Structure 1
Amino acid sequence: MRYETTRAAATQPSLTLRGRAQPLLTLELADLPETALETALQERLSRSAGFFRHAPVLLDLTALPAAAAARLPGMIEAVRRTGLVPAAFQARWPEIERAALAAGLGRMLEAEPGQDLAAPCTRRSALIIGEPVRSGQTIYAAEADLIVLHSVSPGAQLLADGCIHVYGALRGSASAGLGDDTQARIFAKIMDPERLAIAGLWLGAEEIPPEWLKRPAQLRISEGWLRFSPLP
């Protein structure tokens, strides 16, 4: 009987841990009172029309002084009340790290020694979408560029670890460079989006200069800022 139990247990599927990087928003917390932090974050997120609701985030706590450790649980709860889901953290001071671990956050894993984070990742062939992208649809090109041959409706979401190309009107949201690829770009034949993002930097519709709306344009990161330019 003992042998049969052991044998049955041995046939159970095992758990698998993978080291593959996943897209994760980073939120840098300033040393603000809990109420002020929540108000500022709510104001910022109100421009995204619920895009970030329930999104897991990495809390960058490196700007917090060690003395802020006692207030950190309240700050984390303030972030949760905005609809974000704090999942992991980075910290500078041991006091902040201990407080974050006690609050249930995971420590962000560091790269293994010798790992070249600057080396370009190996990407798959581009994901090509040959029909219009409807409102409510979300399309993610993992480790690849995303090419849409038609238009993208309001309320649709395009996500890609690489670049995003839209050969019609881009009226939904587009997030390129999800793996922190600052070289990624967004191209659109008609640039009229609800939201744009590259490698964690983003713009709401109201922040896009009018001169770049409803015309062929591309978006890239230059000197730490999102910048528009015409298509060649």
Structure 2
Amino acid sequence: MSQSPIELKGSSFTLSVVHLHHAQPEVIRQALQEKVEQAPAFLKSAPVVINVASLSGEVNWKEIQQAVTSAGLRVVGFSGCKDEQQKRAIARAGLPLLNEGKGPKAPPPPPVPDNLPAKTRIVHAPVRSGQQIYARNSDLIVISSVSAGAELIADGNIHVYGMMRGRALAGAGGDAQCQIFCTNLSAELVSIAGQYWLSDQIPPEFSGQAARLSLIDNVLTIKPLN
């Protein structure tokens, strides 16, 4: 028996969700364009889901899709429809609809023996603009400064013991228990397990301060680093 030329398998991916609070395509395009320009390495050509739960009334769905695409993002589908009429209108525009149902609860991770050595990547030199440092399956510690345009990525936690002006993406493998620790937070972007803030979303009282970021109920939170 010959092997099938295709194979279908279930999988999961981390996607950013754009929550729309305005139905004017040009307003949406300009707002998204500003976000993409703040973090082009993270957002340019990124796949996104458009959540329309806040929209009602007559909406030109096709123009909204084009506005998001014009800003440099790729639309995977629409979600958050409040009623069947809204769903039908989006479907008539030829756009994909996604259901935001919760999958089965994952089993708890096996206990980790206390005597296992910690896995950590330590960087002693400054991280310059354009550099990317990735700590695979480990924490990342930077003993020096991180310039704007530089990027730190770790499957574990990220610690920066200097000025943090670049991008820090902890829990890159999806671990929502990871955290980011900075002694001087002035980042372009911070992200934990796919949940991110751009620089203008970081509370201003933490700018230039020692801070600790974590996820609580899948929402980014920030506290002083005592």
Same fold (TM over 0.5): yes
- Aligned equivalent of 1:61: 52
The CA distance in 1 between the partners of 2:135 and 2:108, in whole Å, is 17
Shift of 1:194: 2.5
- Counterpart residue type for residue 211 of structure 2: A
Equivalent position to 1:195, from 189, 192, 198: 189
The 3-state SS of whatever aligns with 1:63 is: coil
The CA distance in 2 between the partners of 1:62 and 1:94, in whole Å, is 13
Equivalent position to 1:78, from 53, 62, 67: 67
For structure 1, the residue ranges without an aligned partner over 5 or more in a row are 1-6
The 3-state SS of whatever aligns with 1:111 is: coil
- Aligned equivalent of 2:122: 130
Q: Tell me which moved more, 30-39 or 126-135.
A: 126-135
Which protein is richer in helix relative to its size? 1
The CA distance in 1 between the partners of 2:163 and 2:20, in whole Å, is 36
Shift of 1:122: 7.1
Spell out, residue by residue over 1:36-83, the C-alpha distance to the aligned partner (whole angstroms, 9 max, x if none).
Answer: 222333334443355311011111122222x34x51111111111111
Q: TM-score, normalised on structure 2?
A: 0.70
Shift of 1:208: 5.8
Please list, as runs of the form range in 1=range in 2, the aligned pairs for 1:1-232 lying within 5 A after superposition: 9-10=2-3, 15=7, 17-19=9-11, 21-49=12-40, 51-65=42-56, 67-68=57-58, 70-92=59-81, 93-101=83-91, 102-105=93-96, 107-108=98-99, 110-112=101-103, 115-116=104-105, 128-131=120-123, 132=125, 133-139=127-133, 146-151=139-144, 152-160=146-154, 163-176=157-170, 179=174, 181=176, 184-198=178-192, 200-204=195-199, 209=204, 212-213=207-208, 216-220=210-214, 226-230=221-225, 232=226
- Counterpart residue type for residue 34 of structure 1: P
The CA distance in 1 between the partners of 2:133 and 2:88, in whole Å, is 38
CA 1:34 to 1:211, structure 2 compared with 1: closer, same or farther past 3 Å?
closer
Using the aligned pairs only, state the percent identity: 29
- Aligned equivalent of 1:3: none
The 3-state SS of whatever aligns with 1:51 is: helix
The CA distance in 1 between the partners of 2:200 and 2:28, in whole Å, is 24
Contact map agreement 2:186 2:199 (CA 8 A) in 1:
no
The 3-state SS of whatever aligns with 2:60 is: helix
CA 1:154 to 1:64, structure 2 compared with 1: closer, same or farther past 3 Å?
same
The 3-state SS of whatever aligns with 2:26 is: helix
The 3-state SS of whatever aligns with 1:17 is: coil
Contact map agreement 1:162 1:177 (CA 8 A) in 2:
yes
CA 1:155 to 1:74, structure 2 compared with 1: closer, same or farther past 3 Å?
same
- Give the alignment's Cα RMSD to 1 decimal: 3.9
The 3-state SS of whatever aligns with 1:59 is: strand
Query: What is the aligned length?
Result: 214
The CA distance in 2 between the partners of 1:110 and 1:126, in whole Å, is 36
Shift of 1:26: 1.0
The CA distance in 2 between the partners of 1:60 and 1:211, in whole Å, is 29
